[in-house]
C-alpha cells in the first residue's frame, strides 16, 4: 500500500463529515499553511480512542502506548485512567502537516485536543 492508500484506509469519512458540520470547529477550515498552527493533546484526558486518526486529512496523529516520561508526568488519577486504557494516547509526529481544519478538535470524545496558532 502506498502512503495515500494507507491514509484512506485510516479515515472514517462519515465521522469527518459530521465533525465538519460542528458549529464550534476551530481553525482555518483547512486553508492554513502547514506550520502555522499546531495541535496539542492533553494526556490526562486522552483515552486513545483514535477518532483524531480517523478524521485528520493530513495524517498528523499516531495512537500508541504512552512514553514513560509522559506517563510519569500524569497525576495519580490520570495514571489510573491511562492504565485502564492500556496507556494508549495520541501523538502528533506529523504536526508540521497540520492545515488547521479543526476536525480533530471537535471529533475527540474526550475534548483532549486544542488547536493553536504558532506564536500566538
Cβ at position 23, least distance to ligand SF4 in Å: 16
Of residues 5 and 33, the one with the C-beta less far from ligand SF4 = 33
Interface residues toward ligand SF4, by CB under 6 A:
27, 39, 41, 46-52, 55-58, 60, 63, 90, 98-104, 108, 110, 112-113, 115
Nearer to ligand SF4, 2 or 30 (CB): 30
Smallest distance from the beta carbon of 2 to ligand SF4, in angstroms?
20
Nearer to ligand SF4, 76 or 107 (CB): 107
Q: Which residues contact 113 (CB under 8 A, 6 or more apart)?
A: 39, 40, 41, 42, 52, 90, 104, 105
CA distance 110 to 99: 22
Least gap, CB of 76 to ligand SF4 (angstroms): 20
Q: Distance between CA 24 and CA 83 in Å, rounded?
A: 31
What whole-number distance in Å separates Cα of residue 106 and Cα of residue 56? 11
Amino acid at each position: 500500500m502506498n502512503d495515500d492508500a494507507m491514509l484512506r484506509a485510516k479515515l472514517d469519512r462519515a465521522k469527518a463529515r459530521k465533525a465538519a458540520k460542528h458549529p464550534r470547529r476551530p481553525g482555518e477550515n483547512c486553508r492554513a499553511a502547514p506550520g502555522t498552527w499546531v495541535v496539542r493533546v492533553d494526556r490526562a484526558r486522552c483515552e486513545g480512542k483514535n477518532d483524531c486518526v480517523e478524521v485528520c486529512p493530513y495524517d498528523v496523529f499516531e495512537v500508541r502506548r504512552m512514553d514513560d516520561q509522559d506517563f510519569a508526568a500524569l497525576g495519580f488519577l490520570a495514571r489510573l485512567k491511562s492504565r485502564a486504557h492500556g496507556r494508549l494516547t495520541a501523538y502528533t509526529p506529523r504536526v508540521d502537516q497540520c492545515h488547521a481544519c479543526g476536525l480533530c478538535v471537535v471529533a475527540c470524545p474526550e475534548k483532549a485536543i486544542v488547536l493553536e496558532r504558532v506564536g500566538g
